[in-house]
A and B are shown apart, each in its own frame.
Chain A
Amino acid sequence: MRLLIVTAKDLRRVWSDRKALVINLALPLLLTFIMGLSFGGGMFGESKISAIPLAIVGEGIPEQFREQVTDALDETGFFAVDWVDSTAAERQVREGDVAAALVLPEDAFARIFSADSLAVVLWKDPGSPLKAGIVEQILDRGLGRLQAGEAAYRSLWPEDETTAPDGPGGMSWDEFFAGDVVDVWNRWRDLGADPTLTDVGDQLLARVDRQFALADALETETIVMEVHGKASAAAADDDSEFNLFDYFLPGFAVFFLMFGVSAGVRDLHRERHNGTLQRQLMSPLSPVQVLAGKWLAAVLQGMIQLLALFVAGSLLFGVNLGPDPYSLLVVVTVTAAAAAGLFMLLALISPTEKIMDNLSTTVILVSALIGGNMIPMEAMPPWAHTVGRWVFNYWANLGFSGVIADNESILVQRQPVLMLLAAAVVFAGASLVVYSLRRRRGGLA
C-alpha cells in the first residue's frame, strides 16, 4: 500500500500549512461561534433566538387542545404563537406580520386521536423565506413524529380505539387514578359491592400490563424512535427540543468542506508545476496509485474537517451527533469521498490552476445554492428540488439532517448514503479515466 505514503505526505503538508488549517477548520468554527452568539444554545445558554411569529387558525378546536398545541410550540423556543381566525391569518401573512400561518381543520383534534389522516395547511410569507422555511421544516418533522407515534400506539393497543372513554363508577380514568395508592384502593373498595368490580380489576391490570409493554417497547431499538416520538410530541419533554444548529450546521459544514477539499485537490496542479508530480510518476508507484493516494488524502482531510466541526458544534452548541456512533461517521465518510472525487475530477479537466480555481468556485457556489447549503430546500422553488438532486451536497445535506436533526440512523438514511457512495464512485472513476488520458498524451509531465 505505497499509495498511503502519498496520502501521509499530503496530510502532513496540510498539518504543516497553518494557513490552510485556519481556512479549513478555524473559519467554520468561527462562523459557528458567531452563529452561537446570534442564536444561542449550548454554552451560550438556552435558546435566545428571536421568536418567529406564527399564526394558527384553529376554528372549532377545543380550548384544551389549543393549549396543548401552544405549549408544544412554546417548548421549541422558536415560535411566538397567536391563535387567530383565517381572515386575520391571511392578512398577517400577506403583510409580513407573521412568517407563516398554520391552518388546522376543525376536526384536527379528533383526527389526531383516530385512524384518520390529518391534513394541515401552511401559509408562508414569501418575503421571509428563511423563517418560513424553518417553520415548515420544524412543523413537518413535529407532525411526522406525532403521526409515527400514534401509528405505533394504535398498532400496539388497537383495543384502545374501541374502549369506552368512561372509567368505573361513572368516573373518568384520570379521576379514578388520582391521588396516591391508598386513595385508589379506597375507591376500589367503595366499588366492592358493585358487580363491576371484577371488570374494574381486569381493566386496571390490563392498563398496568400495557404500561409494562410500553416500557419494553421503548427498549426495543426498532420501535424506540416511533414510540419516543409520540412521547416527545405529547409530553413535549426535553428530548423533543429543536436546536437550530442541528439544521444549520450540516449545511455550513458541507459548504466549507467543498472549499477545503477543493484547496487540497488543487495541489495536483502545484505538484505538476513544481515537478514533484513528475518525480512521483518516475517512482515505482503506478500513476493510478499516485492519484489514489492524493484522493485518499483529500477524503481524510474532508472527514477530519467535518468531524472537527461537528464535535465542536456539539461541545459548543449542543448539536446532536446522531443516534449512534457510526451513523454520522458513515455520512461523513461518503460525503468526503464524493467531494474529493468531484474536485479531483475538476482538477484533472482543468488545464491550469487558475482555471481550476474559477471552475471550482463556480461549482461550489452553484451547488451550494441548489443543494440547500445557503437556503433551506424547503424555502426553494420546486425546480430547485428537482435540479438539486443532481448535486452531491443535496444528498449530503439530507443525510446529515437525517442523522443530526432527525436523530435517525443510517438504516433509515440509506438513500442519501447510497447516492453519495454512487457519486463518489462515479467521480473517482471519471477522474481515473481523465487522468489516464492526460498521462497518455503527456499532459501531466
Chain B
Amino acid sequence: MIQVKDLVKKYGAHRAVDGISFEVARGELFGLLGPNGAGKTTTIGVLATLLPGNGGSVTVGGHDVAREPGAVRSLLGLVPQEIALYTDLDARTNLEFWGKLHGLDGTALRARVDELLELTDLQEHARQKVENFSGGMKRRLNLAAGLVHSPEVLFLDEPTVGIDAQARSRLLELIGELSAQGLTVIYTTHYLEEAEQLCDRIGVIDKGRLVAVGDKEDLISQIGDEDRVRVDVPAEARPGLAAAAMGWTGVESVGERRKKVEIRARDGGALLPELQSWLAAQGLPLSQLEVDRPNLEALYLNLTGRGLRE
C-alpha cells in the first residue's frame, strides 16, 4: 500500500529525513518509533503530501505523492499530534465540516457523522462545544475527524499525547478495531508499550535514519534473550561481585554499566538467592536492584541510546 524508498527531506543543510526506506502492506498497522526530533512527523508530512521531499520516492496506493498529490490525498486520513479541531464549534459541526470538504453531503454525511459519534462514544456530546471536552474526548473526536471520509490509509501521529490511562486504553482499542476492519495505519509514537500492544511491524527512526524495521519479535531478538540484572554496590565491592557472579548458574556475562554491576543471565530471578547470600557475606545492604527482560523498550534504548533528546 505504501512504498518509501530512499526518502530525503532537508531543512537547509540539516537532513531531517536521511534516506529512509520501508513498505507498509494493505491492512497493516505499522509503528514508527523514535525519540523527539528523530524525523517521524517529517516523514508523515511527506507521506501526507504536506511537505515536499528532496530525494527518493514515495507511493501510496500506487500513486506518487509528488506527481499525483490529489489522488494520494483522497486515500489518506490524518490524525495529527495536535487537536486539529475547531474547539469553538460543537462536535457534530466539526465532523460535518470535514465531511463536506471531502464531498459528503445530505443523508450520507449525517449517517457517517452519526456512525463516527457512536464509534467514539460521543453521541451524547454531539452538540457540545469541543472546548468543553475532556482530553480523551478531544482525542477521540480528533480520530473521528480523520476517518470521516472513510480513508484507506490513516496516519496517526502521537494520538494519545496528554490523556489519562482510561482514555488512552479506549483510544487504543478503537485503533485496534479499525485495523481489524482492514484499515492501513501508520502509527507514530514514543510510547513504546502502545507500539508493542498495537503494531504488526515496527520501524525505529533516529536522527533521520531508519535504524531498525521488522516484526516485533524479530526486533526484540536482535538484542538477545537474556535478562539483565543490575546491582548497585559500592565501587570497591564491584570487582568482587563480578567475579562471584561468573560462577553462578545460568550467568552468561558480567560487566559494569552506569556505576552498577550488570549480570546477563537466562533467568534473572533465579540469581536472587545467590546474590542475597553474597551481599550478606560481604556485610552489604541491597540498596538497588533492576531486572530488565528483553522487550521493545530495551531494543529502543539499545538502538537510540539513553541520552536526553530536546
Residues of chain A whose beta carbon lies under 8 Å from any beta carbon of chain B? 2, 5-6, 9, 12-13, 16-17, 273-276, 278-285, 440-442, 444-445
Contact = CB atoms under 8 A, between A and B. Distances in A.
30 contacts: A5-B100, A6-B101, A9-B89, A13-B86, A274-B82, A274-B83, A274-B85, A275-B81, A275-B82, A275-B83, A276-B84, A276-B85, A278-B48, A278-B84, A279-B98, A280-B101, A281-B50, A282-B50, A282-B76, A282-B78, A283-B98, A283-B101, A283-B102, A284-B101, A284-B103, A440-B52, A442-B50, A442-B52, A445-B45, A445-B51
A285 B74 CA distance: 10
B113 interface: no
A126 B230 CA distance: 87
Contacts of B93: 12
A9 B86 contact: yes
B185 to A, nearest CB: 16
B45 A282 contact: no
Contacts, number: 73
A275 B88 contact: no
A282 B52 contact: no
B2 interface: no
Contacts of A285: 101
B58 to A, nearest CB: 14
B189 interface: no
A297 to B, nearest CB: 13
Contacts of B83: 274-275
B89 to A, nearest CB: 6
A5 B101 contact: yes
Contact of A12 (B89, B102, B145): B89
B84 A275 contact: yes
Given A275-B83, A279-B98, A284-B103, A13 B89 contact: yes
Interface in B95-113: 97-98, 100-103
Nearest to A281: B50
Contact of B101 (A2, A16, A274, A275): A2
Contacts of B76: 282
Interface string B67-83: 00010011010101111
A283 B84 CA distance: 14
Contacts of B45: 442, 445
Nearest to A279: B84
Nearest to A443: B51
Contacts of A442: 45, 50-52
B59 interface: no
A9 B48 CA distance: 24
Q: Which of B70, B80, B85, B86 has its CB near the most chain A CB atoms (within 10 A)?
A: B86
A271 to B, nearest CB: 9
Nearest to B86: A13
B49 interface: yes
B89 A16 contact: yes
Contacts of B103: 2, 284
A279 B89 contact: no
B80 A278 contact: yes
B102 A284 contact: yes
Contact of A279 (B51, B52, B78, B88): B78
B74 A284 contact: yes
Given A16-B88, A274-B83, A282 B51 contact: no
B78 to A, nearest CB: 5
Contact of A274 (B74, B78, B84, B102): B84
Q: Which of A276, A278, A281, A440 has its CB near the most chain B CB atoms (within 10 A)?
A: A276
Given A2-B100, A2-B101, 13 more contacts: A5-B101, A9-B86, A13-B86, A13-B89, A16-B89, A274-B83, A275-B80, A276-B86, A279-B80, A280-B101, A282-B50, A282-B78, A442-B50
A13 B76 CA distance: 26
A12 B48 CA distance: 28
Nearest 7 A/B pairs, CB to CB: A275-B84, A445-B50, A275-B82, A275-B80, A442-B51, A283-B101, A5-B100
Interface string B279-290: 000000000000
B259 to A, nearest CB: 43
Contacts of B98: 279, 283
B286 to A, nearest CB: 49
Interface in B245-270: none
A279 B86 contact: no
B101 A273 contact: no
A440 B45 CA distance: 13
Contact of A9 (B74, B97, B102): B97
Contacts of B88: 13, 16-17
Contacts of B78: 278-279, 282
B74 A5 contact: no
Q: Which of A9, A16, A273, A285 has its CB near the most chain B CB atoms (within 10 A)?
A: A9
A280 B80 CA distance: 12
A125 to B, nearest CB: 51
A6 B102 CA distance: 12
Contacts of A2: 100-101, 103
Nearest to A285: B101
B86 A282 contact: no
A440 B69 CA distance: 13
Nearest to B72: A282
Nearest to A13: B88
A284 B82 contact: no
Nearest to A275: B84
A370 B48 CA distance: 46
Nearest to A16: B88
Contacts of A278: 48, 50, 78, 80, 84
Interface in B119-148: 129, 145-146
